[in-house]
Amino acid sequence: MAAANLPPVNDLLDLPVIRSLMTERGRDVVRTWVRESFDELRQRVLLGDADGDRAGLLGRLASAVLHRAESDADVRLGRVINATGVVLHTSLGRAPLSDAAITAIADAAHASNLEVDLATGDRRYRGYQLQSAWQTLTGAEAALIVNNNAAATVLVLQALCQGREVVISRGQLIEIGGSFRLPEIFGLSGAILREVGTTNQTHLDDYVKAIGPNTAAILRVHPSNFRVEGFAATPEIDELARLAKQHGVLCIDDIGSGCVCDSTKLSLPAEPTFRDSLSSGADVVLGSGDKLLGGPQCGILLGRSDLIARVRHHPLARAVRVDKLTLAALSATLDSYLRGTAEQDIPVLRMLATSADELHARAERLREALVGTTSINATVASETAAVGGGSLPTAELPTVVFRLQSALHSAAELAQRLRCGTPRVFPRVQSDAVLLDLRSVLPHDDEDLTRAVRALEGP
């Protein structure tokens, strides 16, 4: 009898909440959710798992459609507040962009001078607008930007070293996740891997013995996502550059995190910079744009103009080139360095430089804002945070967290509610509690963070 109470599909489509949803999300999409919800409810009714009058079943159908809409929204790409404490969280998009970079993306979304010289009307190569900035900031003769540093590695090996040997320390045959292993990248590029030394000890003489008539380059890869400590040694880049020049081969340096500034000024361990590597004599230097540089995801190749030109004209370069939006964001990021305002403008640098005292002050303000507005138990505690994103692996940053616990919900349930709430907040779970780590939260997100905690109330 309950099957006869199933309402017509049109009754569901005529509900104001469903009509509003069709306007917001699209008629075809919502009709699909309606059909799926209707079929599911019909099966449950026939199996005796659901019952009710027509009005009750219509309400259940509407709720099912809205639930599908919410689930779809959860998987859509969009803003998330990173409250994990990991400043460069790969799964959450690594470096958040500066306001200037976001504005530049919006501006470049229109027609732009991507590959044209406005003064002459002549066609230019993509990214030519950034050459002066790279020269000023790093001393590089030329630059090429591709879609990420893994692509930069494959491209430079294929364009400059294909069919010839590249000498690298065995301790630098890295894996960075996502199936990126350097020996496999060599195989893909067509360059021949010649590893020397041991995992913890590689000496300059090891490189000397490996260089031969078929050697194209010496490659150094900075271990940006791990450290070997204790009885460990490897030649510095200036030593490798001198050796390469003595033997007429190239010196290629992958500095990893793409650092432009002196990281020790942020009370962090020293990281190699583009300028340091180039001034030490490296011919080509590679790095990431979305790590310590604090810009968009991209791979950066800097170095001698003749070598960069060869790489730029290689067929693979077109396959891994960046779009105008990435270039616009990168240009705005570099402008902050040129102005000397990077530590104020670029979110990553601001988060890394924030003192523990400032985090404590913010935490107390947030705690006071929550008093009397929620039954969630929120306490303030000191912790440590990581830089993340394959950068500064041994650096531990002092941080301050909100420790959330509830008598009604487990820590896993609270975390899921935060991730799928409005606004969406990604916390970490530790010792049966949810931690909201302020190290990776910018101050302008504090109000939204408070709102998200208040929204945890309810069944």
- What is the residue type of 160? L
| More confident call, 36 vs 243 | 243
State pLDDT tens for residues 207-229. 999 999 999 999 999 875 566 66
| 193-207 tens-digit pLDDT | 999 998 888 999 999
Residue 53, class by beta-carbon neighbours within 10 Å (0-12 exposed, 13-18 middle, 19+ buried)? exposed
The answer for residues whose C-beta is within 8 angstroms of residue 245's C-beta and 6 or more apart is 251, 281
Task: Quote the tokens at residue 154.
Answer: 């494959």
Closest CA to 218 of 207, 205, 233: 207
| Residue 225 Rama label (left phi>0; alpha psi -120 to 50; beta) | alpha
CB 185, CB 152: distance < 8 Å: no
End-to-end CA distance of the chain: 32
Rounded CA-CA distance 178/187 in Å is 17
Instruction: For residue 37, give the amino acid letter.
Output: S
Confidence of residue 177 (pLDDT cuts 50, 70, 90): low
Q: How far are the Cα atoms of 182, 239, 275, 364, 388 from residue 220, in angstroms, in the given order?
A: 12, 11, 16, 46, 22
Question: Does the structure show a pLDDT above 50 at 67?
Answer: yes
For residue range 23-50, list pLDDT tens digits in order.
988 888 888 888 888 888 888 877 776 6
Distance CA 244, CA 280 (A): 12
Residue 175 CB: number of other CB atoms within 10 A? 13
Q: From residue 234, how far is each of 169, 196, 257 by CA, in Å? A: 8, 11, 19
For 114-133, what is the mean pLDDT? 94
Rounded CA gap, 130 and 95, in Å?
20
Where b means 16+ CB within 10 Å and e means fewer, 20-45 reads ebbeeeeeeebbebbeebbeebeeeb
Q: Compute the mean pLDDT over every residue in the chain, rounded to the nearest whole number.
A: 90
Using alpha carbons only, how large is the chain's radius of gyration in Å?
27
Better pLDDT: 392 or 237: 237
CB 95 within 8 A of CB 291: yes
Domains of the chain: 2-75 (no CATH), 81-93+350-454 (3.90.1150.180), 99-345 (3.40.640.10)
Give dist(CA 93, CA 110) in Å, integer: 24
Task: Give the pLDDT confidence of 359-382 residue by residue, as tens digits.
Answer: 999 999 998 888 877 788 889 999
In the numeric block, the tokens 């002092």 are attached to 398
Give the pLDDT band of residue 426 (cuts 50, 70, 90). very high
Give me the pLDDT at residue 84, please: 95
| Dist CA 400 CA 404 (whole Å) | 13
- Give me the mean pLDDT over the 304-316 stretch: 97
CB-CB contact of 411 with 405 (8 Å): yes
- Quick: pLDDT tens for 332-345: 999 999 999 999 99
Quote the pTM value.
Answer: 0.87
- pLDDT recorded at residue 459: 58
Say how far apart CA 101 and CA 105 lie, in whole Å.
6
362: Cβ contacts below 8 Å, ≥ 6 apart: 400, 438, 443, 446
Encoded tokens for 322: 């960046």
Residue 2 confidence (pLDDT) above 60? no
Q: 255 is written with which tokens? A: 């500095």
Alpha-carbon distance of 261 to 270, in angstroms, equals: 10
pLDDT at residue 50, rounded to an integer: 65
- Give tens-digit pLDDT for 88-111: 999 999 999 999 999 999 999 999
Q: Of all residues in the chain, what percent carry a pLDDT higher than 70?
A: 94
Average pLDDT rounded to a whole number, residues 437-455: 94
Q: At which residue do the structure tokens 């616990």 appear?
A: 405
Look at strands 433-437 and 142-146 and give their pairing. Answer: unpaired
d(CA 411, CA 425): 14
Lowest mean pLDDT among 44-58, 138-152, 416-430: 44-58
Residue 306 structure tokens? 């003749």
Give the least confident one: 50-54, 154-158, 347-351, 389-393: 389-393
- What amino acid occupies position 19? R
Please answer whether residues 297 and 323 qualify as being in contact, where contact means their C-beta atoms are separated by less than 8 angstroms: no
Task: Say which residues have a Cβ less than 8 Å from residue 72's Cβ, sequence separation at least 6.
Answer: 25, 29
Q: What is the mean pLDDT of residues 139-148?
A: 97
pLDDT band at 1 (very low <50, low <70, confident <90, very high): very low
The pLDDT value given to residue 394: 64
Please report the pLDDT score of residue 228 as a whole number. Answer: 66
What is the rounded distance in angstroms from the CA atom of residue 415 to the CA atom of residue 426? Answer: 7
For tokens 């992958």, name the residue: 254
- What is the number of other CB atoms lying within 10 angstroms of the CB of residue 306? 10
Determine the average pLDDT of the residues in 119-137: 95
- The pLDDT of residue 390: 60
Contacts of 108 (CB under 8 A, 6+ apart): 114, 324, 325, 327, 328
**Residues 327, 166 contacting (CB under 8 angstroms):** no
Average pLDDT over residues 241-251: 97
Three-state SS at 61 = helix
**Residue 5: pLDDT over 60:** yes
- Mean of pLDDT values over 224-240: 77
Percent of the chain with pLDDT over 90: 62
What's the confidence (pLDDT) of residue 175? 74
